[in-house]
Structure formats: C-alpha cells, structure tokens
Amino acid sequence: MIDICLLGATGSIGQSTLEVVRLHPERFRVRALTANTDIEALFAQIREFKPSFAVIADESLEPVLLARVKTELPDLQVQILSGETALQAVAQDQATHTVVAGIVGAAGLLPTLAAVQAGKRVLLANKEALVCAGRLFMSEVERSGAELLPLDSEHNAIFQCLPYNKRYQPEVRRILLTASGGPFRGYTRAQLDEVTPEQAFLHPNWEMGKKISVDSATLMNKGLELIEACWLFGVSPETIEILVHPQSIIHSLVEYDDGSQLAQLGSPNMCTPIAHGLGFPDRISSGSAFLDLCSAPDLSFEKPDTETFDCLKLAIEAAKRGGSHPLYLNAANEVAVQAFIDGRIKITEIASLVEKTLKFAPDSEPVSIDEVIQLDGKARQHCLDCLNEIS
Ligand code: NAD
Ligand code: MG
C-alpha cells in the first residue's frame, strides 16, 4: 500500500489525482489532504478518503473545519491541522511515500521543498517552485535522494522520451516543448486588449485552475514551463524550442543527434501523467479516454507569436539571464494575474507589469531559501507599486 500526501487536494490537479486514486483502492491510501480555504471541498474529500491528516492552510478556518468533522464524522480518526508548518509537517510525515505537489504559485515552494528534503517521491505539478528556486530545489533533490517525477503534461512527456537510466545520457539535440496556444491563439493585440477573465478561463483543451488558465492564455505558462524544463532536465534555455500544437495530442518531443524525434501522445487529460507518476515504473490505468488517431483531429504545428504574447518573450529572456530574473518574473506574474482576475487591469497589462518589475531584479541568484522568500516579497511589492500607478 502506498501512502500519499496530496498538497492542494481541492484544486484541479488534486481532484484529478483523487480520480486516479479512486481507481486503485488496493494500491494507494490517502494519508494527508491539504487545501487553502475551500472547507466544503476538503470536508467532502475527508469524508470519502478518510485521511489521517487534513490541513487547512488558512489558520482562521481550522475551528470551522474541526467542528464540522466532529459533528458529522464523529467516529473518524483524522487530525485537523492548519498553517504553513502543518503543510510542511504532513509533507515530511514518515509514513508517507508519495507527495503530490499540487499547490498553485510560490505558496507551494516550502511544502514541496519539505517533501524533497524528507527524501519522498515527489510528483511535481507546482512549476512555480522550480521557477523561484530551481538551483536550490534541485540541489536538495540531489542531497536527499528524493525522487522527482514531473506531472506537468509536457514535462511528463519529455521524461517519458528520455532514458530513465541516468548512467546512459545520450546527446539531446533539442527539446520541443509543445503549447496549445491557449484560447486567444491568432488574436491581434487590439483583440487581446478586450478579453475578459471569463474568456481566459475557458481553455480549449484543458480544465485547470484560474491562475494557470490565465497563464496559458498569455503564454506565460509556456515560459514558466521552459524554466521548469531547464531545471528538471539539466538543459539550457537554448536547447528548448516552443512548438505551438493546438490539438494538444503530442505532449512534447525530444530530438536526438541521430535525427530521431521521440514524442509522447495521448488524449489531453491530466489523469494520464498523474497515473504515470503515481504508478512509476509500473503503468497503471488512469481512466483517460484512449486516443483513436483515426478519429483525432489533424495535427498542426506553428511557431509561437512572441510579439503579441510578450509574456513568453519576457520569460525566455528571464530564463537566459538567470540570477533572480525568473523569481521576479514569477512573483510579478502572480500579482498581475490576480489583478487581471479581479478586473483591475487588461490582460495585455500583465506583461507590462512583469517587465517593469523585472527592472528591479538582481543579477545574482539567491543563495538560500530565506533569500528566495525575501526577494519574492520585494518583487511582489515592486509589482504592486507599479499596479497602483496604473489602476
Ligand atoms: P487550482 O487553483 O485548481 O488549485 C490550487 C490548490 O492549491 C488548491 O487546492 C488550493 O486550495 C491550494 N492553494 C492555493 N493557494 C494556497 C496557499 N497559499 N497555501 C496552501 N494551499 C494553497 O490550481 P491547479 O490548476 O490545480 O494547479 C496547481 C499547480 O499545478 C500549479 O502550479 C499549476 O501550474 C500546475 N499544473 C496544473 C495543471 C492543470 O491541469 N490544472 C497542469 C499542469 C500543471
Ligand atoms: Mg503544462
């Protein structure tokens, strides 16, 4: 039996993970579930999966959840906890084998890192953790012997196309990171200026949380993924080429020196990469629809439009400059995306705010996690100052 801790259980990744877990009751047991504020969803999951621990990140909500569990599930042996230290504690719990990192944003960094430091198998969806603190994060993976498996569909595809045996590392010529192009592919700047958050949430191929949906609409998501791939696979930004593939059937490719390109294909459903990570190295069923290539749409490919979607251009530049640029890019993007969701700015202003914040980014890389947290706070403040000037 494999004990699982699910960080961000109530989100899109969390729910898809539980869909896969539901299919394999003989294989997986849910040991811990965590959420930020969504008591309703967390309570329903506690009722169904009967974990040993449930953490609500917002401490003010702990008494509400506790009261609900005591009255409605009086016989259940579950410990209700709250706050940042509890998130880290359940991620490090001795009986837990696999930690799914499904928290959104830099808020996921410390709990995910805690799981890494405890040497867990970590299934990483929280790409922002690597964007913020890639080198420090990867050196902890190395030191602790944690097993890091990517859940992001593109990175999971790349992982599947690379040899797993680290002693045999062939020359990778290019990594082709695919992108759907998002809901506004083909739009002009003038058209982009007019889009609403609701339109941005409607991704053509994937159902995801609000923040990553907006990131997919601006193509910032692909920029964050490029940085994520550099750290995960130890390659330079120049090795990675972004390929727009609107059907999201090929989830990425690896090109080798002999001219071979290996790809991973499948229906666009996160349950496939999640099942790959949960079962690894076994292959287990995911519940995703099997791909029928004869009835699938024609596959098409194009280059990304980085002039209109300038968030992607900023992210590629930040990846190449390194230092604290990726950290500042991510922090500013989180603030700006929230401002767009709140109706304070246009979608096209996200890139302007990120660009203005990046001017403050130190060229040196943070040397400790404390410094990461401190710089992340500074970057957010710079971005908020710029935001207050325009809205
Ligand atoms: P979501 O918004 O649906 O869910 C986020 C989860 O994190 C929720 O459970 C929420 O309660 C929790 N959370 C939010 N803020 C928190 C905080 N401050 N402290 C503790 N918990 C907090 O997001 P999602 O779409 O599931 O995405 C999660 C992560 O996975 C993101 O990093 C995203 O980029 C990545 N990802 C998502 C998908 C997808 O299909 N949804 C695909 C690839 C990668
Ligand atoms: Mg992805």
- 3-class DSSP state for residue 116? helix
Higher confidence at residue 206 or residue 292? 292
Ligand 2 centroid distance, CA of 60 (Å)? 33
Q: Contact at 8 Å (CB) between 140 and 115?
A: no
Quick one: pLDDT at residue 180? Answer: 97
DSSP three-state, residue 321: helix
How far CA 161 is from CA of 51, 63, 153, 171, 255, in Å, comes to: 35, 47, 12, 13, 9
Residue 375 has pLDDT above 70, yes or no: yes
Task: Give the orientation angle of helix 220-233 with respect to helix 153-161, to 10 degrees.
Answer: 30
Residue range 280-285: average pLDDT?
97
Instruction: Give 82-123 pLDDT, tens digit per residue.
Output: 999 999 999 999 999 999 999 999 999 999 999 999 999 999
User: In whole angstroms, what is the distance from residue 108 CA to residue 7 CA?
Assistant: 8
Ligand 1 atom nearest residue 35's Cα:
11
- Residue 204 is predicted with a pLDDT of 82
Domain boundaries, the chain: 2-151, 157-321
Burial class (CB in 10 A: 0-12, 13-18, 19+), 233: middle
Nearest atom in ligand 1 to the alpha carbon of residue 105 is: 32
Mean pLDDT, to the nearest integer, of 164-171? 69
How large is the average pLDDT for residues 16-26?
A: 98
In the chain, pLDDT over 90 holds for what percent of residues? 96
Q: Higher pLDDT residue, 215 or 390?
A: 215
Residues 369/106, Cβ–Cβ less than 8 Å: no
- Given a cut of 80, whether residue 31 has pLDDT beyond it is yes
By CB atoms closer than 10 A (0-12, 13-18, 19+), residue 15 is middle
- The finding on whether 336 has its CB within 6 A of some atom of ligand 1 is no
107 lines ligand 1 (CB under 6 A): yes
Query: What percent of the chain shows pLDDT beyond 70?
Result: 98
d(CA 154, CA 177): 7
- Which structure tokens are listed for 171? 């020359």
Distance 99 CA to ligand 2 centre (A): 19
Question: Around ion ligand 2, which residues have CB less than 5 A away?
Answer: 152-154
Confidence band (pLDDT; 50, 70, 90) for 171?
confident
**227-265 pLDDT per residue, tens:** 999 999 999 999 999 999 999 999 999 999 999 999 999
What average pLDDT does range 2-25 have in this prediction?
A: 98
Task: Give the ligand whose atoms come closest to the C-alpha of residue 182.
Answer: 2
Tell me, what's the pLDDT at 173? 94
Which ligand has its closest atom nearest to the C-alpha of 270? 1
C-alpha–C-alpha distance, residues 134 and 334, integer Å: 17
Residues present in the chain in total? 391
What's the rounded mean pLDDT across residues 269-289?
98
**386, pLDDT greater than 70:** yes
Q: Report the C-alpha gap between 298 and 194 in whole angstroms.
A: 30
Mean pLDDT over 32-37 rounds to 98
Mean pLDDT computed over 139-152? 98
Question: Looking at the predicted structure, is the pLDDT value of residue 64 above 70?
Answer: yes
Q: Is residue 204 helix, strand or coil?
A: coil
Q: How confident is the model at residue 203 (pLDDT cuts 50, 70, 90)?
A: confident
**Whether residue 209 has its Cβ less than 6 Å from ligand 1:** yes
Query: What integer pLDDT is reported at residue 328 of this predicted model?
Result: 98
pLDDT at 3 over 90: yes
Question: Which CATH class for the 2-151 domain?
Answer: alpha beta
Q: Which residue has the higher pLDDT, 391 or 280?
A: 280
Instruction: Place 165 in a pLDDT band, splitting at 50, 70 and 90.
Output: low
Average pLDDT, the chain: 97
pLDDT score for 100: 99
Contacts of 91 (CB under 8 A, 6+ apart): 5, 7, 32, 99, 111, 112, 114, 115, 118, 120
Position 168 confidence tier, pLDDT thresholds 50, 70, 90: low
The CB density around residue 106, as the number of other CB atoms within 10 Å, is 23
111 cis-preceded (ω within 30 degrees of 0): no
Gap from CA of 252 to ligand 2 centroid (Å): 10
For 296-350, what is each residue's pLDDT tens digit? 999 999 999 999 999 999 999 999 999 999 999 999 999 999 999 999 999 999 9
SS3 333: helix
> CB of 182 closer than 6 A to ligand 1?
no
Nearest residue by C-alpha to atom 2 in ligand 1: 209
Any ligand 1 atom below 6 A from CB of 14: yes
Tell me the three-class secondary structure of 254-293, residue by residue. Answer: EEECCCCEEEEECCCCCHHHHHHHHHCCCCCCCCCCCCCC
Region 263-275: what's the mean pLDDT? Answer: 97
How confident is the model over 188-192, as a mean pLDDT?
96
